[in-house]
Structure 1
Amino acid sequence: MASPKSSLILASPTDEERRRCWKATHPQWGAALSLDAYLAREQRQLEIPLARNGGLTNWILTTREGESVPPPAGGSTDTGRPVLSSCETLKKRALVRGKDGIIREGTAHGVASVFTDPAYRGRGYATTMLRQLADTLGKMEEENRGDAMFSVLYSDVGKKFYAVNEWFPHPSNHAEFAASVDDTPAVSPEALKILHFDDLPPLVAADEQLIRKEIAQPPHPGHPAIRAAILPDLDQIHWHLAREGFVCEQLFSRRPNVHGALYTSSSGARVWAIWARSFSGTVAEPAKNTLFFLRFVVEEGVSDEDLREALRAIVAVAKKEAADTACAKVQMWNPDRRVRAAAEELGAKYVVRDNDSITSLNALGEIRGEPVDWVANEKYAWC
């Protein structure tokens, strides 16, 4: 029998072990899909540009060779080493503004799909895995084998579990609109543009420059001196759209071709949203499905009045797109003060999340253990 947790190791799974992990997670994260479709989606996501060339890494907690752990309740039909807990990390382009005011470019690790089979729960395996993962990611940077400056994850078990392993919770709020097909305001074609995939490259490039300008600013009063951001580049957006497209193809036999909307104000300043759907339920369970604004961008020079009109027009398109694809709601994560006020004027419900999708960040390298101001903490960074 294995001795304590010293016998447990973080390892890369074999293809067969990775498939076992996917099968185990299907009931929790694949409710909208058959098992075969879910397995196909997970395999397909490995081929997305963001995941290629070491972009995505799968991890399992298992035992050292020749050692064992108590079998799961009810026994197991699996052969080979036990998969006690599992997760994956996805590299993303990132920026950090240090206390010295210097902006450094590198990557962030998005930690996702943290899972322990119910038969193995209650033994501390997920905690052990996360502690080893945090140490591994940190050592990779200390040994100059990577350029990651922080990692992020999204907790569905509240704010405390991950915080003990240094993934500290950050603001996790959203404005929510009910889906509808009956709320389309009159907007001139010159002012409102529907966004298709080919429209996105120049917008994400412009957005990157806006984030670079924002993160270069001194810390806001009452905020940490260190500022960090994940860049919403085209690979990051494409990861969400590919996932959405595969599921919609299974559910509706078609892929969405409307990925957002852009409003140009009378001054020429623009407001835009890029979105994607997430399905936690079937077509018959729209209350479980959501159209998320991956990123909501307001350029400089947009007045409060123009912002209200822009939001009204963009949200109307989003609400119709949501309703057309069995999504009961539209969500915008962490809107700033101006956007929140405009959203609430339009009837949005403002929600402070305490238990699910808690945005959490773990600083690495020279900023490890330091408080961090997370710039542009929106849905696009989720994985």
Structure 2
Amino acid sequence: MSSELEHQDLILVEATPEQARMTNRNSYMSWGYPMLTIDEYIKLEEILANIEFASENLKVWILTSRKYISSSDTEPIIFSQCETYKRKALITLSSGQIQEEICYCITALFTPPQYRHKGYASKVIELLNDKFKFEYKSKFSYLYSEIGPNFYTRLGWKPFSHKEIRFNVDNKYLAPLENSELIIAINNSNLENVVNKDCELIKNDHKKLNKKSIVILPTKPAFDWLFQKTKLYSKFITDDKDSRLFGAIILNKNNNSSNENFNDELLTNFIIWNHDFKDNRLFIIRFRSDSPYKTRLLIQQAMQEASKFQLKQIILWNPDLNLFNISKSLNIFDGEVYERTESLPYLKWYEDDDDNVDWVLIEKYSWI
């Protein structure tokens, strides 16, 4: 670490609204250019920050010198910056006890080019960890890294294996699907019910685990935020591509329930997706299936949705490969499994010295 950093009185503070706008100006060339102008980028980030999920859970942090904070006449120099979001989570302890907790997701860690290679990003993470552990009394935080494995591992974060299955899309899946009468759409009228029932099932699943583990709980506001972010960053997509279908549920043949009245049995097989028009992909952000056959039907629905918008690929993070027997059950699809090299998941455990914690359901819904 440089002598410059060693002798500065650094402090991590929550950004004011004007400082938050400055963090967006700082990161524009990395995350907004060339798709957006700088004004468009700042405007969209402000819109996202005021959506329910972000307005209740987002904090923007800046690393600066204490001397700037003590002086009202000088705008602070931002040496590094990041954002954090509160998330609901479940923790299963070694004793089998289950606790519902608040955790924190760290994202958008950024150091302006002129301040890089001085240890400022590491200092942000160090100060955040202290804040989460001692001030907020959080048991853990997590993040997805775009900069490879070395940085966060060196800082004591635990990495997790991160696979994905990719399906190439063929327009032939616009044709009617077999057993389509078993499928109902997930839309605005039933999404919240689906998410709430899913959380109940996740809690029941978590009770069966016999080791220390965590799971991030899906919530309706978090899904809404992801959907809105995709829409805002797809400004060149016309209104007819503003899809109101968020996924699909497989119903039992003899069940006559309405879209708004699901029981636990009905929600053992469903899929929730998000359209990525920028990179021409359909992301499966939450997936629940109890058999390869049901998996096949759900992937067929995703194929049909992707074909409708001429998206060329479907991606699902960390699938249970027992449900994706590509050589048999899914042989009509061009599906392959890859080890991901981007958005690598990391966990920091604060509760005790034993960090042997498993992270369950590392799916796209927990990404921000």
TM-score normalised by structure 2 residue count: 0.86
Q: Determine if contact 1:33/1:250 at 8 Å carries over to the other structure.
A: no
Residue of structure 1 in register with 2:62 after alignment: 60
Measured against aligned partners, the alpha-carbon deviations of 1:142-183 in whole angstroms (never above 9, x if no partner) come to 4xxxxx332110001112211222331112111112244332
Q: Are 2:213 and 1:240 equivalent residues in the alignment?
A: no
Q: 2:123 and 2:251 mapped to 1: Cα distance? A: 50
Residue of structure 1 in register with 2:260 after alignment: none
Q: 2:293 and 2:254 mapped to 1: Cα distance? A: 12
Residue of structure 2 in register with 1:340 after alignment: 324
Residue of structure 1 in register with 2:275 after alignment: 277
Q: Determine if contact 2:292/2:325 at 8 Å carries over to the other structure.
A: no
Measured against aligned partners, the alpha-carbon deviations of 1:67-126 in whole angstroms (never above 9, x if no partner) come to 9xxxxxxxxxxx722111110100111110111111111111111101111222111111
Q: 1:154 and 1:304 mapped to 2: Cα distance? A: 29
Measured against aligned partners, the alpha-carbon deviations of 1:199-255 in whole angstroms (never above 9, x if no partner) come to 211211121111101111133xxxxx2110111121221121121222235543453
Shift in Å, 1:195: 2.2
User: Per the alignment, do residues 122 and 291 of structure 1 end up closer, same or farther by CA in structure 2, a change over 3 Å counting?
Assistant: same
User: Per the alignment, do residues 277 and 195 of structure 1 end up closer, same or farther by CA in structure 2, a change over 3 Å counting?
Assistant: same
Q: Are 2:99 and 1:104 equivalent residues in the alignment?
A: yes
Q: 2:344 and 2:238 mapped to 1: Cα distance? A: 30
Q: Are 2:3 and 1:8 equivalent residues in the alignment?
A: no
Q: 2:358 and 2:222 mapped to 1: Cα distance? A: 21
Q: Are 2:197 and 1:206 equivalent residues in the alignment?
A: yes
Q: Determine if contact 2:212/2:357 at 8 Å carries over to the other structure.
A: yes
Q: Are 2:307 and 1:304 equivalent residues in the alignment?
A: no
Q: Are 2:158 and 1:155 equivalent residues in the alignment?
A: no
Q: Are 2:217 and 1:231 equivalent residues in the alignment?
A: yes
Identity of aligned residues (%): 27
Residue of structure 1 in register with 2:258 after alignment: none
Residue aligned with 1:45, SS? helix
Q: 1:3 and 1:335 mapped to 2: Cα distance? A: 43
User: Per the alignment, do residues 141 and 99 of structure 1 end up closer, same or farther by CA in structure 2, a change over 3 Å counting?
Assistant: farther
Q: 2:9 and 2:354 mapped to 1: Cα distance? A: 27
Q: 2:108 and 2:200 mapped to 1: Cα distance? A: 31
Coordinate RMSD, CA, aligned: 2.4
Residue aligned with 2:123, SS? helix
| Structure 2 counterparts to residues 362-381 of structure 1, below 5 A | 362-364=348-350, 366-367=351-352, 369-381=354-366
Shift in Å, 1:188: 4.0
Residue of structure 1 in register with 2:185 after alignment: 194
Please, which runs of 5 or more residues in structure 2 have no aligned partner?
256-265
- Report which stretch shifted further, 86-95 or 335-344: 335-344
| Structure 2 counterparts to residues 130-169 of structure 1, below 5 A | 130-142=125-137, 148-169=138-159
User: Per the alignment, do residues 312 and 12 of structure 1 end up closer, same or farther by CA in structure 2, a change over 3 Å counting?
Assistant: closer
**Aligned letter for 1:336?**
D
- Report which stretch shifted further, 128-137 or 241-250: 241-250
Shift in Å, 1:369: 4.8
Q: 1:360 and 1:318 mapped to 2: Cα distance? A: 31
Q: Are 2:343 and 1:357 equivalent residues in the alignment?
A: yes
Q: Are 2:26 and 1:42 equivalent residues in the alignment?
A: no
Residue of structure 2 in register with 1:293 after alignment: 284
Aligned length: 345
Q: Determine if contact 1:192/1:313 at 8 Å carries over to the other structure.
A: no
Q: 2:60 and 2:68 mapped to 1: Cα distance? A: 22
Residue of structure 2 in register with 1:73 after alignment: none
**Aligned letter for 1:376?**
L
Q: 1:5 and 1:330 mapped to 2: Cα distance? A: 50
User: Per the alignment, do residues 367 and 205 of structure 1 end up closer, same or farther by CA in structure 2, a change over 3 Å counting?
Assistant: farther
Please, which runs of 5 or more residues in structure 1 have no aligned partner?
68-78, 143-147, 220-224, 282-287
Q: 1:240 and 1:368 mapped to 2: Cα distance? A: 34
Q: Determine if contact 2:12/2:64 at 8 Å carries over to the other structure.
A: yes
Residue of structure 2 in register with 1:21 after alignment: 23
Q: Determine if contact 2:248/2:298 at 8 Å carries over to the other structure.
A: no
User: Per the alignment, do residues 11 and 171 of structure 1 end up closer, same or farther by CA in structure 2, a change over 3 Å counting?
Assistant: same
Q: Determine if contact 1:150/1:363 at 8 Å carries over to the other structure.
A: yes
Residue of structure 2 in register with 1:285 after alignment: none
Q: 2:150 and 2:251 mapped to 1: Cα distance? A: 43
Residue aligned with 2:233, SS? helix
TM-score normalised by structure 1 residue count: 0.82
Q: Determine if contact 2:91/2:99 at 8 Å carries over to the other structure.
A: yes
Q: Determine if contact 1:88/1:114 at 8 Å carries over to the other structure.
A: yes
Q: Are 2:325 and 1:331 equivalent residues in the alignment?
A: no
Q: 2:98 and 2:243 mapped to 1: Cα distance? A: 37
Q: Determine if contact 1:155/1:358 at 8 Å carries over to the other structure.
A: yes
Residue of structure 2 in register with 1:75 after alignment: none
